[in-house]
Amino acid sequence: MTLSPAVLSLLALLVAIALSMATKLNVGVAAMAFAWLIGTYAAGFKADQVAAGFPSALFLTLTGVMLLFALAETNGTLERLAQRAVALARGRTRLIPILLFLIACALSSVGPGAVTAVALLIPTAMAVATRAGVPRFLTALAVANGANAGNLSPISAVGILANTKMAEAGIGGHSVKVWIANLAAHVLVMAAAYALFGRWESSRDAADAGTVGPAAPSSFERVHWLTIAVILAWIAGVVGLQLNVGFAAFFAASLLILLSLADETASVKRVPWGVIVMVCGVTVLIGVLEKTGGMELFTAMLARLATPATVDGTVAFVTGLISTWSSTSGVVLPAFLPAVPGLVQKVGGGDPLAVALSINVGSAMVDVSPLSTLGALCVATVADPVEARTLFRQLLLWGLSMAVVGAMLCQLLAGIMARA
């Protein structure tokens, strides 16, 4: 039996998602190959038609933002900001998890995203919190959830991705709601975590605990103050003057390099090119999926799982389960957000914006799992193998449970957020 290009393109997407969950292969590379093979040899497109699906504007935006913060990371600016922020908890052990959540959220929101925020914060946070007697599990939840809470801000890399994909699906112009919905969900979850695990016995007095860390905070020098000034000017330009996020980020990065404030070569190496390839590759495959009619099959398959009354919770649960093992930004958001209008139509009802918010929130809630980058970074800070295995199990169970919790929250609140 001969399979149609639509069926082949849908199978390719499902295989790509499976590969992202089961192998170390960058799914963007596989997606590019699938898009070329199916688009050219099954659908009869020219190579240029397949290549037209490459998200050049998104590529420029992601690269510019990530390069800017790679420069700030390379010259030590972000590390010093993280150290000073953690030092705010001095002498107040009960506030440590709350402060860690707020610091991670703020750092993630201004641009670098959740992965960079966790990587910068978690080593210092674990050292300070452990000395103060704060459970490692609660510390990991505070940092990871805080970073995820700010991950969909209008100027963060993942927020830009989500808003771009929503705009392409005809539901753009809601960047603040996207940010607030994700932020609110993670605040609620972290409040529950603090209520459950926030009653610990401090192993040191408050004053002693506040002085502990891997090292005293490093002092700010001229290079760091100038870097902060350039980043603040970039944020002001984007927010206040509506400058293009990506091109403005390239301009700010150029200033840092021309003023010799950061090492360009080292910074370019720190840009997460694998994530960019992942996002762009999956987007090219989605383009072939849409052109061949495979997107209609994909939305019809999702529609069988839901009704108009349950679509928000169902899509949050499905994307949450996939995101537990797969990449939220590289696979789930590029694959599911373009399907929203068709899904609502085939289900026979629902608010497209509410469904999109459910995809964003449902896929993000599970990212504390140690199978994801955020959870893995937290586990990696624990030197003792027994304690590391314990934290691994705790984060895995928590991450899996968040697929259910996220679905419930989205079912109850996504529609309210969309109408607000």
Instruction: Please check whether residue 259 is in contact with residue 11, taking contact to mean a CB–CB distance below 8 angstroms.
Output: no
49-64 tens-digit pLDDT:
999 989 888 888 888 8
Q: Would you place residue 215 in the very low, low, confident or very high pLDDT band (cuts 50, 70, 90)?
A: low
Q: How confident is the model at residue 295 (pLDDT cuts 50, 70, 90)?
A: confident
Distance from C-alpha of 295 to C-alpha of 232, rounded to nearest angstrom? 41
Cα–Cα distances in angstroms (integers) from residue 360 to residues 152, 177, 186, 402, in the given order: 8, 11, 12, 13
Q: How confident is the model at residue 128 (pLDDT cuts 50, 70, 90)?
A: confident
The predicted structure's pLDDT at residue 200? 64
Chain mean position to CA 139: 19
Nearest Cα neighbor of 152 from 401, 358, 313 is: 358
In this structure, the dihedral spanned by the alpha carbons of residues 321, 327, 330 and 331, taken in order and rounded to 10 degrees, is -30
Cβ atoms of 351 and 321 within 8 Å: the answer is no
Residue 406 has pLDDT above 60, yes or no: yes
CA end-to-end distance (rounded Å), the chain: 50
| Residue 92: strand, helix, or coil | coil
pLDDT range class, residue 378, cuts 50, 70, 90? confident
pLDDT band of 211, cuts 50, 70, 90:
very low
Q: DSSP states of 329-395 as a string?
A: IIIIHHHHGGGHHHHHHHHT---HHHHHHHHHHHHHHGGGSTTSHHHHHHHHT--SHHHHHHHHHHH
Residue-level pLDDT at 209: 43
The greatest distance separating any two alpha carbons of the chain, rounded to the nearest whole angstrom, comes to: 74
Q: What is the mean pLDDT of residues 68-79?
A: 88
User: Per-residue pLDDT tens for 173-188?
Assistant: 999 999 999 999 999 9
Q: Is the pLDDT of residue 138 over 50?
A: yes
SS (H, E, C) 198-227: CCCCCCCCHHHHHCCCCCCCCCCCHHHHHH
Please calculate the CA angle 103-379-149 and round it to the nearest 5 degrees. Answer: 30
Q: Which residue has the higher pLDDT, 88 or 417?
A: 417
CB atoms closer than 10 angstroms to residue 277: 18
Across 326-345, average pLDDT: 87
Q: Please compute Rg for the chain using Cα positions.
A: 22
Count of other CB atoms within 10 angstroms of residue 303? 20
Q: What's the CA gap between 5 and 292, in Å, rounded?
A: 6
**Residue type for position 399:** G
Q: Per mean pLDDT, which range of 171-185, 202-216, 298-312 is the poorest?
A: 202-216
Exposed e or buried b for every residue in 330-339, given b needs 16+ CB within 10 A? bbbbbbbbbb
Q: What pLDDT sits at residue 222?
A: 92
> Is 105 in a helix, a strand, or coil?
helix
How much is the average pLDDT of 262-290?
87
Give dist(CA 403, CA 324) in Å, integer. Answer: 8
The mean of the pLDDT values for the chain is 86
